[in-house]
């Protein structure tokens, strides 16, 4: 597993009718693949997120969409950024991700986190709880999911979950790459160091050196080579040469780049890659009117000199 340049599809509100919605998703994934991106991600949410739209705007179920994308692409890795453990039973999630791996011929990535969007939980009937509750629940879920992905049959009698020789067959590989999203120094980063292949850092540009230092410390404490834990940052990319810094909302300035494709690439180099993060996942905005072809390709081309392909 290597994520140097990924694409996140953050929005299904394209100003089209429902009939054209998924063809637009396919077009984005295929453009990213043709442009040399190594991975494509969708959000695992049921309602649109604050800041991107109202809850009732279009949101596709993640694993159904990824299964369809697997048949429309040939090379890119596919996953969620990231699955909310709170609304995914671990045995069913293991079955979903192994099925995606079979369909895609070994291109699935399991991205997982604690879950955070409280409105979804309250509205759809999933228990939210405290962050500690959600983190503990994730830890117990991994005791089930990870063995199942490797072909074992775990029996667990835990606080949150119970299984009896749970299995997931068929499997395409004995190891599906594992990615966690977050940057908590006391819980998330140590968990990443213990179990995961990839950490998607959710933090501002100015926080990256500190987060990477903690990654190194937590890995070394358990005898892991820090170089074996890949890192990436999810970056909002506003690909529009008419956009200037004063137009970027204050809440996004530490996670957004903007301007022409060349300017976007240069900002990613100086703010992310030069800080020591090994990869970037773009969440692009190419037009306020929805997806516009060409922007992702242009950024991919501009980034190639800065990435170790």
Domain residue extents for the chain: 5-233+284-291
Closest CA to 229 of 219, 243, 221, 237: 219
Asked if pLDDT for residue 188 goes beyond 80, the answer is yes
Question: What is the pTM for the complete model shown?
Answer: 0.94
Distance from C-alpha of 128 to C-alpha of 125, rounded to nearest angstrom:
9
Tell me the pLDDT tens digit for each residue of 223-250: 999 999 999 999 999 888 888 787 777 7
Asked if pLDDT for residue 252 goes beyond 80, the answer is no
Using DSSP's 3-state secondary structure scheme, residue 6 falls into strand
Name the superfamily (CATH) of residues 5-233+284-291: Luciferase-like domain (3.20.20.30)
Residues forming beta bridges with residue 41, ordered by sequence position: 8, 79
Distance from C-alpha of 294 to C-alpha of 133, rounded to nearest angstrom:
43
Asked if pLDDT for residue 65 goes beyond 80, the answer is yes
Tell me the pLDDT tens digit for each residue of 85-130: 999 999 999 999 999 999 999 999 999 999 999 999 999 999 999 9
pLDDT given at position 267: 95
Average pLDDT, the chain: 92
Angle formed by the axes of helices 295-303 and 261-271, nearest 10° = 50
């Amino acid at each position: 597993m290597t994520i140097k340049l990924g694409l996140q599809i953050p929005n299904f509100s394209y100003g089209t009718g429902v009939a054209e919605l998924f063809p637009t998703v396919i077009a984005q994934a295929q453009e990213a693949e043709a442009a040399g991106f190594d991975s494509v991600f969708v959000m695992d949410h049921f309602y649109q997120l604050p800041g991107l739209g109202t809850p009732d705007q279009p949101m596709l179920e993640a694993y159904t969409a990824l299964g369809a994308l697997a048949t429309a692409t040939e090379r890119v890795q596919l996953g969620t950024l990231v699955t909310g453990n709170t609304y995914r039973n671990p045995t069913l999630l293991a079955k979903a991700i192994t099925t995606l791996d079979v369909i895609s011929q070994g291109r699935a990535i399991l991205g997982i986190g604690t879950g955070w969007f409280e409105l979804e939980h309250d509205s759809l009937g999933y228990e939210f709880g405290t962050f500690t509750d959600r983190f503990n629940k994730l830890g117990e879920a991994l005791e089930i999911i990870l063995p199942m992905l490797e072909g074992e049959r775990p029996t667990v009698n835990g606080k949150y979950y119970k299984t009896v020789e749970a299995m997931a067959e068929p499997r395409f590989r004995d190891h599906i790459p594992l990615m966690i999203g977050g940057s908590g120094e006391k819980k998330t980063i140590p968990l990443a160091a213990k179990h995961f292949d990839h950490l998607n850092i959710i933090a501002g540009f100015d926080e990256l050196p500190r987060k990477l230092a903690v990654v190194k410390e937590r890995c070394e404490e358990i005898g892991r080579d820090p170089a074996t834990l890949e890192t990436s940052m999810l970056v909002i990319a506003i690909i529009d040469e008419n956009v200037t810094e004063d137009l970027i909302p204050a809440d996004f300035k530490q996670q957004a780049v903007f301007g022409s494709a060349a300017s976007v690439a240069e900002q990613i180099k100086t703010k992310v890659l030069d800080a020591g993060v090994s990869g970037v996942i773009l969440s692009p905005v190419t037009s306020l009117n929805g997806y516009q072809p060409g922007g992702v390709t242009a950024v991919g081309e501009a980034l190639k000199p800065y990435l170790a392909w």
